[in-house]
Structure 1
Amino acid sequence: MGQSNFEKLSNLTQGDYQAFLYDCDGTLTDNMPMHTKSYVEVAAEQGVVFDPGIIDELAGWPIMQVVEEINRRYQSSLVPEDFKARKAQIYNTRYLDHIKPIDYVVAHLKANAGRVRIGVVSGGDKVTISRTLEILGLSDLVEVLVCSGDTERGKPYPDPFLKAAELLDVAPDKCLVFEDGVPGVEAAKAAGMHWVRIDQFKFG
């Protein structure tokens, strides 16, 4: 019988780590399609149509940076602050309460809480991510939460992960990052941290 995803992930994460830092959207919860729908709906309200694949491509970027990139690629004039507020309204009212966990990653976090320090580092807004962790039953296990706006630069820059390490008082090279997107992996690399791409079971 082959290994379960939980066993595969656990085998990748052996080592002298003092903190595990998890991305949230697409890593702890399978909600990226819901985020994509909310992006598309808000843009459509303003007459803008874009390739939804851009959302997966930029997974982990703060919302306002994603909107700026959509504007750049499509010569649109979406207002990032307004877009962010409207997207949060749509996502939180239509989709948030229906999210499902990525079971093996949630189980991994629960199994390691108390053994290492636990942080969540997300490009999402703090209110939505806090509610997400509550729905997933993880709120009491997460010691540090770093979200959009907590650092001047978001992923793919290292700042959010370095901020989490600082708050946990753990050296960056003793942190292991769990991510589902390229920008998050790039941010972990830039922070001098090891990382696991959970959807591909890749370690670096």
Structure 2
Amino acid sequence: MNGASVVRNKQKVLTELSKGDFDAFLYDCDGTLADNMEGHKASYRAAALMYGFELDDTIIDELAGWPIIQVADEIRKQYGVNFNPEVFAQLKNMLYEDTFIQETKPIDFVVAHLKAHAGKVRIGVVSGGGRVSVSRTLQQIGVTSLVEVLVCAGDTVRGKPYPDPFLSAAEQLGVDPTRCLVFEDGNPGVQAAVAAGMRWIRIDQV
């Protein structure tokens, strides 16, 4: 089976899974719409080296969807390194945006799913990434004009795994949270969707 066939089959499965009486689809960005997690991991590792320690990037998978400052704070705690999480997050973002963002590719079957449903349901993107980085990523994968609402790190007091970002997106779209379907690749995002009373699909299991 060639790559195009795999994409079509996965898009078909995702379309079947997402059938229902939904008013809005809310997509995570990194690892869900965008195939860029290796770039994010590399920028975390590079930032850590600049602080003098080697980072095991499995922590990035475990905390996928957390706001970057909170990930940085968790790294600080686990590694016992004294740094300002906000400054670390800014460094990580700078490294990612300067070096890795241009390598971002779409996760084709998810992007195709979004494009196929734009105009039929409301479309939002809810991410733990910074607004500049997420906006550039959405532009890179060609969906900026289809996204009606973008909720990023810092837009709500609490990020994933709390429900606040998804509830904010639903409110901005004028949609009942129970009529939203969330597309996520990480446990914190799924936990946030459940807490928001929304149904969800794990992209990495399609």
| TM-score normalized with structure 2 length | 0.95
Q: Secondary structure at the match of 1:20?
A: strand
Alpha-carbon contact 1:59-1:182 (below 8 Å) kept: yes
Alpha-carbon contact 1:121-1:147 (below 8 Å) kept: yes
Letter of the structure 1 residue corresponding to residue 17 of structure 2? L
Q: Of the candidates 90, 93, 116, which is equivalent to residue 85 of structure 1?
A: 90
- Quote the offset at 1:180 in angstroms: 0.3
* Residue pairs, 1:34-183, within 5 angstroms: 34-183=39-188
- Quote the offset at 1:50 in angstroms: 2.5
- Quote the offset at 1:74 in angstroms: 1.4
Alpha-carbon contact 1:67-1:78 (below 8 Å) kept: no
Write the deviation string for residues 127-161 of structure 1: whole angstroms up to 9, x where unpaired: 11111111111111000000001000000000000
Write the deviation string for residues 34-88 of structure 1: whole angstroms up to 9, x where unpaired: 1000001001111122321000110000111001111111111121111111111
Q: Secondary structure at the match of 2:150?
A: strand
Q: Secondary structure at the match of 1:76?
A: coil
Give me the CA root mean square deviation. 1.2
Structure 2, unpaired ranges of 5+: none
Q: Which residue of 2 aligns with 1:5?
A: 10
Return 110-119 or 65-74, whichever deviates more.
65-74
Q: Secondary structure at the match of 2:205?
A: coil
| TM-score normalized with structure 1 length | 0.96
Whole-angstrom CA distance in 1 between matches of 2:115 and 2:76: 40
Aligned residues: 201
Alpha-carbon contact 2:27-2:125 (below 8 Å) kept: yes
Letter of the structure 2 residue corresponding to residue 62 of structure 1? P
Alpha-carbon contact 2:66-2:161 (below 8 Å) kept: yes
Structure 1, unpaired ranges of 5+: none
Q: Which residue of 2 aligns with 1:198?
A: 203
